[in-house]
Structure 1
């Protein structure tokens, strides 16, 4: 019983901050989860912990991981309102899977490479090497989570839900990027 009070207080504080400062709260949450995903990925791979991927995933989460999805989910709700559009869930899902996912994957791969200190040419080379594999995995593994997200998760919590799913995705993505770097070397 004593453990539940601090957890409830933390949850209440998070929800209050999410309501009062949605973008800041989502960005900080994305930063923490992205950083954690990078660290876990490196720990699972063994060897030394490198700071450049950790910083890249943290910076990406802080700058883009909360803001872009925040505005995307707002846009989706405006484009496909539940009470006006026929089959809104299907339309939201198709829009997310066929337009947003390909663009955000390309943006993420390129931006993470740049945040790690790679030049434009090296970032594009890494993007070209990984893009189709990562996008295919995204469609294969994240579609069910997006269905759950858009069907059952309140709009205010959608970014948090996908950031939690994204913790596992960040581990996958970091592993793919590390494997590509190791092949190159």
Structure 2
């Protein structure tokens, strides 16, 4: 029981910040989750922890990983309101899976490469090399989580829920990008 009070205080503080400063709170949360996922993926792979991917995932989360989904979920709620539209869950899911996910995967791959210091040409090359594999995996593995998110998670907590799911997803992305980089290094 001694641990429950600090945890409840932390949860209460987080929810208060989420209510008072939703974008800032979601951005910081995404930064922390993305950075942690990068570190964990490197440790699991048996690599020395390199700072550039950690900073890339953290910066991406801070600038885009919390903010863009925040606005997306707000737009989805306005486009497909529960009490007005027939089959709102199905429409939100299709909108997310067929419009938002393809855009975000391309944007993420390109932006992460640029944040790691790659030039435009190298970032585009990496994007072309990984995009179809990453998008297919996204549709395959994250669709169920999006159904749960859209059906059961309150709108205010949807970005947090997907950030937590995104911890595993960021590890997957980091692993795919690292495999691609190692493959390129062996060719040279």
TM-score w.r.t. the length of structure 2 is 0.98
Write the distance in 2 (CA, Å) between the matches of 1:47 and 1:104: 27
For residues 106-132 of structure 1, give each alpha carbon's deviation from its aligned partner in whole angstroms, at most 9, with x where no partner exists: 000000000000000000000000000
Alignment of 1:76-91 (within 5 A): 76-91=76-91
**Which residue in 2 is equivalent to 1:120?**
120
Q: Which residue of structure 2 aligns with residue 47 of structure 1?
A: 47
Match of 1:173 in 2: 173
Equivalent position SS for 1:117: coil
Structure 2: gaps spanning 5 or more residues: none
Q: Secondary structure at the match of 1:83?
A: coil
The aligned residue for residue 25 of structure 2 is 25
Measure, in 1, the Cα distance between the counterparts of 2:81 and 2:48.
Answer: 48
Give the distance between the partners of 2:33 and 2:50, measured in 1 at CA. Answer: 17
Residue 47 of structure 1, CA deviation: 2.4
The separation in 2 between residues aligned to 1:88 and 1:102, in whole angstroms, is 20
Partners of 2:47 and 2:119 lie apart in 1 by 25
Equivalent-residue separation in structure 1 for 2:119 and 2:3 (angstroms): 48
Aligned equivalents of 2:144 and 2:47: distance in 1? Answer: 33
1:121-136 equivalence runs, <5 A:
121-136=121-136
CA RMSD for the aligned pairs? 0.3
User: Is 2:49 the counterpart of 1:63?
Assistant: no
Which whole-Å CA distance do the structure 2 matches of 1:155 and 1:49 have between them?
A: 35
In the superposition, the TM-score normalised over structure 1's length comes to 1.00
